[in-house]
Amino acid sequence: MLTIYADQISQRLSYVLTLIFHERNVAYQIVSDHDSFKKAALPKVAYSDDSSFEHYPKIYPSTLLFEDKIKKQMVLKSEWMTHEVLSFNGVPDILASIFYVISLYDDYLQEEKDHHNRNIGSRSLLYKMNWLEKLMVERWSEQFIDFIEQENGCQLKTQAIPFKIVPTFDIDNTFAYRYKKGGRKFLSIGKDVLKMNLPRLRERKAVLSGHKKDPYDTFDQIERIARNGFDVKVFWLLGDYGKFDRNLAAKNLHHQNVIKQTDGFTEVGLHPSYASNESETVLEKEKHQIEKILVRKVNHSRQHFLKIDLPTTFERLSNVGFSDDYSLGYADQLGFRAGIARPFVWFNLKENKVSNLKLHPISYMDGTLNEYMELTIEEAVKTVRNLKKEVKTYGGNFVALWHNETIGDYGKWKGWNEVLAETLKTEEIDV
């Protein structure tokens, strides 16, 4: 049994230690009285600046894990035991570093947002430190464990965090042409006529006459991936039609049949609409819609446009009954927004407590590679390979975000199935 002393057993400290040790299967206890710590058998470590622990393995703490409010911190890259960590108001602190990153503390303080009111990856602390493509929480956790083992002359016999590839798909537009009716259909045709987009007009005619498959109809491909043993997740947009919410209507029976068929081979979750980010009532309505279609509870979600407004978005998801969310990533940058790839329980900084919502970080989004970073296919393949190697090395889920319309070898996505194929490679990765 590992014993850890702290002057105060705070919510934040308890959260960090659970994150480090629970999945690694290390038994530990936290104590706050001197006698219990000094009488405890090895291994042990003091997280305190108390001079009476000078002869014990010891880490000097910053104040971050003993605070209960969100406030500006002087955060710099520093060094602890030859490792790069964060310092807080001049104190290098590996445990506080873990908490600062996993709690998304920096995102709360970031004032500059993009035109969708999202945090900007290139403005994040991890990006500035050149750490965004590294699993810093896992790296620091292993360094902390190494310190305990070296200082106590022991082995904690940690259990490795498993590695898994998790392909996920957002369905923003179920079809390019099929089942679109009324004004939407004629406006779209009119737009193509005005622009003299003859290839698109011919394609629409071929699809609607049954001579050609709809280019967004890639559900057979998603099914093959699921049948090959991958834990595929699909998130469906059902929001009312709007500027950024353009899928078929939820009441369209053809649309409902596709959703049900997909749920037959993998788990379908909700893709809350752009509009739902402004209203818990709209979010709850969309949750009820998809549950009515699937005739079951739907507990998994991913935000449309990866819109996250901290802490409101996650609070609302939890309030209406979601247990798991797959939105955690930046749109403009790939990598690990919370320094971790395995699912973890979100810590609500505003309430200073552990929530009931589990977050599943994404490793990359298709549009980040192609549209934001403008990588070539070859560059994207190499980038995906390196990200997957990082997750394989430190453990976690390699969650890739694709769309049904981006895997069809169509338009600006022609050839990008090579990047998806790299993602799905399961052979041994050199680490």
- Asked if residue 171 and residue 145 are part of one domain, the reply reads no
Has residue 43 got a pLDDT over 90? yes
- Asked if residue 169 and residue 103 are part of one domain, the reply reads no
> Which CATH number covers residue 408?
3.20.20.370
Is 208 within a domain? no
Is 290 within a domain? yes
- Asked if residue 142 and residue 169 are part of one domain, the reply reads no
Is 52 within a domain? yes
Amino acid in the structure at residue 141: S
- Asked if residue 335 and residue 412 are part of one domain, the reply reads yes
391: domain range?
163-176+214-424
- Asked if residue 83 and residue 108 are part of one domain, the reply reads yes
Pairwise pLDDT comparison (197 vs 147), residue with the higher score: 147
- Asked if residue 318 and residue 348 are part of one domain, the reply reads yes
188: pLDDT confidence band, cut at 50, 70 and 90? low
Is 203 within a domain? no
Provide the whole-model pTM: 0.94
Torsion, CA 367, CA 371, CA 377, CA 382, rounded to 10: -70
- Asked if residue 171 and residue 127 are part of one domain, the reply reads no
> How many structural domains is the chain composed of?
2
Is 40 within a domain? yes
- Asked if residue 262 and residue 131 are part of one domain, the reply reads no
- Asked if residue 169 and residue 97 are part of one domain, the reply reads no
Is 204 within a domain? no
Q: What is the pLDDT of residue 61?
A: 97
Q: What are 47-60's pLDDT values in tens digits?
A: 999 999 988 999 99
Q: Closest by alpha carbon to 134, among 341, 404, 303? A: 341
Has residue 342 got a pLDDT over 60? yes
- Asked if residue 171 and residue 79 are part of one domain, the reply reads no
Q: How far apart are CA 107 and CA 97, in angstroms?
A: 14
Q: How far apart are CA 167 and CA 165, in angstroms?
A: 6
- Asked if residue 370 and residue 233 are part of one domain, the reply reads yes
Is 430 within a domain? no
Strands of 91-92's sheet in order across? 75-80, 83-88, 91-92
Q: What is the mean pLDDT of the chain?
A: 94
Q: What are 218-246's pLDDT values in tens digits?
A: 999 999 999 999 999 999 999 998 999 99
Mean pLDDT over 198-225 rounds to 89
- Asked if residue 145 and residue 231 are part of one domain, the reply reads no
Is 187 within a domain? no
Measured CA distances, 320 to 197, 212, 315, 316 (Å) = 44, 41, 9, 6
For 62-85, letters b (16+ CB in 10 Å) and e give bebbbeeeeeebebeebebeebbb
Instruction: Report residue 317: phi and psi, to 5°.
Output: -60, -45
Helices 136-152 & 11-21 angle (0-180, nearest 10): 90
Q: What is the pLDDT of residue 284?
A: 98
Q: How far apart are CA 311 and CA 174, in angstroms?
A: 30
Has residue 124 got a pLDDT over 50? yes
